[in-house]
Each structure stands twice: as structure tokens, then as C-alpha cells.
Structure 1
């Protein structure tokens, strides 16, 4: 059976996890957290990076940082994971959903301005499949209306837009290290990327339960105390140790995934001439990270038949998000701005094929051949 996903594992993680376990310092912000922070600060050239237990909590930190309050409005695509919305709903915000582009499945930047009201506080672009949104346009709109931009780059580590790493273009950004992502910190994990230095001090306070503990350990204050809103947003150093083992092999993992993606694309490209599927679109200004390989079939019925056919041939495939605006909570906490021309329709056509570090090239070739076989 070719499974849909396996958590990335390089064997490099073992030594560091054991070292963290034996260090006498397993709680947050130990030596491995420091090493991870240094890696991201240098690799991303960001003002500051802060590890979190998961990406959901990184988004929650971002919502607190930009002072989301009840009745504020936050613009985002409906085609995303529930955490993107929940982080802001928890602060009392109303979510304004905008339709996606048919080509990249990202928020349609041309529709954002129409969704802005006097209550709008932020725009949250989601870089689907590690392919960048049209960030120049989005940042231009944000500047015009004095809005914050928080990049949900959960799937975007190692991908770029015009040479800039995803997550480093908006005011704040987030990555996920869940086991389904390209890199993991042991099943869960995330990081908040701070690009505007004005957010650094408060972010550290929010992350440390609302205390100025980080300043205390740097010798900047003689004692620490409760100074602001906050919660416990530090992952254990064991999580950081696992992640650091993968960061040392980040380019190896990325290269392997890109090779798999290219092989899928090469084998399936002839089906374009039959006009039975569509393949992923990668705009010229984007460098993707092979987070996933998906195809778009004719309709929901065809997708169901193809999923079953793949399973009959020992292959597990998967579809993706059910649009948030069609859900019970989505209707309660948000509304769709304009027409749903593509969000629902495209979500019902999309099918993801197996993609993970450790999937062998010949296995990807077999999956692609079975898809071709389905279409005769």
C-alpha cells in the first residue's frame, strides 16, 4: 500500500532528541530552541522568529499582537484550514471570506479591496501548496488602507515569492511543522515570523504567559512579572531538537520532494492534451517547495471514482479543505464577500496524490501511471 503521507524522518533527529532528553533542560527555549531560532533568523533574514507548539498558536499570537478586538473584520480565503479563521474568531473578529483564483487556489488579490470596510483590521493570505499569493498587490492594498498582513505560510517553508521566503513579506508570518508538512518537530509544531521589529518585545511577552521573563533572562530587568496578555506558547526543547535535526537536512528534503513533484508532472502532462485533468500552476515569480502534488479532475463524481480506483490499486489519495463558508461555524462567525465562483467548485475537483519525504521515485511513477490508466 502506498500511503498518502508519512512524517518526515531523516535519522538525524535521534541524536539531538536524546541530547535534549539528557540535558536537564527539556522545557521551552533551551539550547535546541536557540539553535532553531538562529537557523530561521539567518535563513529568513527576519527580525525575529519564535517557535510555538503548533501553527495554530502562532496565528493566535499574531491575532493578539495586532490587537484584534470584537467586531474587527479579517479578510481571508474560505479555502483554508479552520485554524486560519479560529485564531481571529477567538479574539471576537468577524471573518470576511473572499473567493480564490482558479489557477493557484490562492486568495484572489483583485477581490480583496471590495471586501474592505471601516472595520477591517487585517488580511490573511494563505499560500496554498507552498505557492505564493500575489504579495505585491496584497501589500499595496494593506499600505493603502493601513491594514496588517499576516501570511499563513503553514505549507510554505522553503518556498519564495520574487526571491523572498514566504512568511517574510507581510508584517507577520507563520509556518507549520505538523507531521503532514515538509518538516516537523515531532508531529506538531509551528513558528511565528516577525518582520516588523516593533512587534518583537510584545511577542516575547505574549509567548511567555504575559510576563517579561525573556527580558529578565537577558538581564534587562531585575525581576519578571505579569505585564500583558499572554499564554504558554513555548514548545518543549525535545520538539525543537527533533526539528533541528530536520533543519540540518532541509535542502536534502526539499530536493527530494521537488524531484517527486517533477516526476508526477512529467508523467501526467500528456493527459492535458486529452482535456481530462488540470495540473498545478506555478507563476513565474514563485518558487514552490513541492508541499503537495494535486490534480484537478472534471467534477466531484469523477474525483470519487478516481479515489476508489487508486485505492483498488493500493494507493491512498486525498481531497482537501471543505470551504469554511459552507460550514456551520463559518456561517456563524463570518460571511462570504461577493460570489463564490471558484472556491467550492475548484475544491470539489482537487485531488492530492501521495507526497512525502521517503516516498520512492518508482512509487510516484507507479501512482502517476495508475492515474493515466484510469483515463485509458
Structure 2
């Protein structure tokens, strides 16, 4: 099934067919609270990402000098499972794209997590590539001087320490400071169906969490952009001149299967669903599948009690993990590759690993764990032997406060 959308430019008519392969939303079993009746009818229609809604944003770009914040997920879907990069599509429509700003992992998504991305030139288009994950993490005044509008389109997965929302916030700050409008093309969040996890404390803010939101915040990147603006979270004195192009036929309960991995170590749905829970291992000395073909679908370490586990693996350098934790060492742990879609953050695996470590001092890389958790309390509670239920009870008030704020910005 496909949806036709198109625009008439002064020199050509572009007709796009939206891919329906694998992106069919799940039909809600109950009404979606707070939504109008017509929104309930979207469940049987293909999801249309904002990049395909050219009639909504091309008029805003005509005659403008454009900077695009993009990576490998920045695509316009065609038919079947085919797609075209948004930058190529804009150029084919004779839009005046001046440069591309690239986030963590780079414009083509080839760099490891944490690996610095350098400036360069895109060999296909000849456009300048400006890194937002190198010597600077937001566009400078000089880099925006020849830009009339910034177009932001990156696939997010809805986890606070996934750095694309930090890039969004810093780009919005730069745009607000220098009077450049920003257009966000919205995409589904595959973890938008729940809100959970510890809320970041301001004293631990950084690139892994810039604002006091829960680990899983249950919003699309467009909704979150509106929250950043509306809650006054930009460091600039003014709000960004923000336009969000919305999705069609998507709700927060919809299942969405990403056709392109959003970063090198999120290869499939299972990894994306487990990422909020297993991503916390990034702040420990325990491997979470990097250096295997099952990233964020397993965990293990040489110092876990071998008598407690019947699953082992050995991380080796591979795509997205040039130097994985526990490289070349036999790790004892658990295989989670058959876990179904998650509806909450689970602490059971982190608690399990801590309890079965032969030396518990080996588990936490304290500063790294605090940056990922957003609080020192989570490590303290695990070390104190608290149960998952006891730890989650400490999150409840913060989650309720956030949900109240979040409600103001939900669009779907």
C-alpha cells in the first residue's frame, strides 16, 4: 500500500510514493485518551514521515539558503523498501542547500559511538560537511552566516542519553541566538509508547542529558523540540523560531520498524527496544553486545560468576565497535535476543550482573554510569541491595510531574 504526495514546483512535478513495507502501525485495542475521533482512524493507514510531506515544507524553503542537519536516516521514502536521501531530493527540486551539519556517527553513520567526527566534503554532492560532534557541538555564528533556514531531520529512538536530542537542543540554541528559523521534520519514536526511568538531575547535565527529563520520555523529536522551546530550556535569551512538520497516521501506540539503523550499534527492533535498559551498561565495565552482531541484545563480562550463566560470547572489533569492552575475552552473561517489545525500563539485568560479579568493585565506572543514569542515586540503590520495585518507587513522583508537562506538547 502506498500514499501519494507531491508538489508542483515552477519547473517540475515531484510525485513520491511512501513505503509501507514494515511500517504499519499497530491498531490500538482501546481508544487513545485525549485524541479526536479522526485520530483513532489512523491505525489502518501507512505511516507518513514528515520528510515525505513535501507540500508542507518545500514552500518554506523556496528561495532560501538552507543548512540541513542530517545523517543516514534522513531519507524520503519511495516505493517498496527504497528511499532517497533528503539532501539529494532537495537538490533535485533545485533547493539551495548550502551545507550539511553532521551529528554523532557522522553524515553517513559510519563512526563509532564517541568517535570524533571531522569536517569535510560530501563526495556525492560536493556539499560542505560541518561536524557537530568534533571541535564544536553546535553551529557557530560564522557557519550560520550564509544560512536563511535550518532543516533538522534525524531519526531518534527516545532515550535521553541518545545524543541526537542534545544535538537538536544545541542547534535550536544556535538558531535562536543568530535569528535563523529552524524546521524539524518529525519521525516516529519506536519507544514513544511509555515514559520511565530516572529523571536527570541538573547537576549531572551534559551531552548525555541536557534537560531534566526521564530516561525514556515518550515523545517524537518534533514534540520534544516544542517542549524545549516551550519550557525555556534554551540558553539563548529568545526562543527558537520553530516549525515542526508533523507525521501522518501515527500514534504513540503505533509500532514502527526502522528501515535504516539509526546508529551502528542499533541494528534491529530488539536492540532499539532494549536500548533504554541495556544502555545503562555503557556506564559500567560490562559489555552490552558491542563487538558482536547482537549489540544491545546481550550482556556479559569475564568477571561475572561463570556458574550462574550458560551463555558466553567473545567481543571482537567490528562495524561500530573498533575497540569494544572486554575485547577478545570470554564473557559470561545472558542472551536477550528473543525479548519482545519492551513497555518499561528494566533494571533486572543490571541488578543481576552486579549481584553475580566476583568483585563488585569491577562493575561500575562511576562517573560514566552517573552521566548515563542522570543521577548518583541509581548506583547507590543497586549497591545497597534494593529491589527493582523499590528503586522504581523512587522515580514515581518525578515521572508524574514530567507526564503533566509532556501532555502540553503531544501532537499525536
Q: TM-score range by the shorter chain?
A: 0.3 to 0.5
TM-score (norm 1): 0.34
Per chain length, whose mean CA-contact separation is higher, i.e. which structure has more relative contact order (CA < 8 Å, sep 6+)?
1
User: How does the TM-score come out when normalised to structure 2?
Assistant: 0.32
Higher helix share: 1
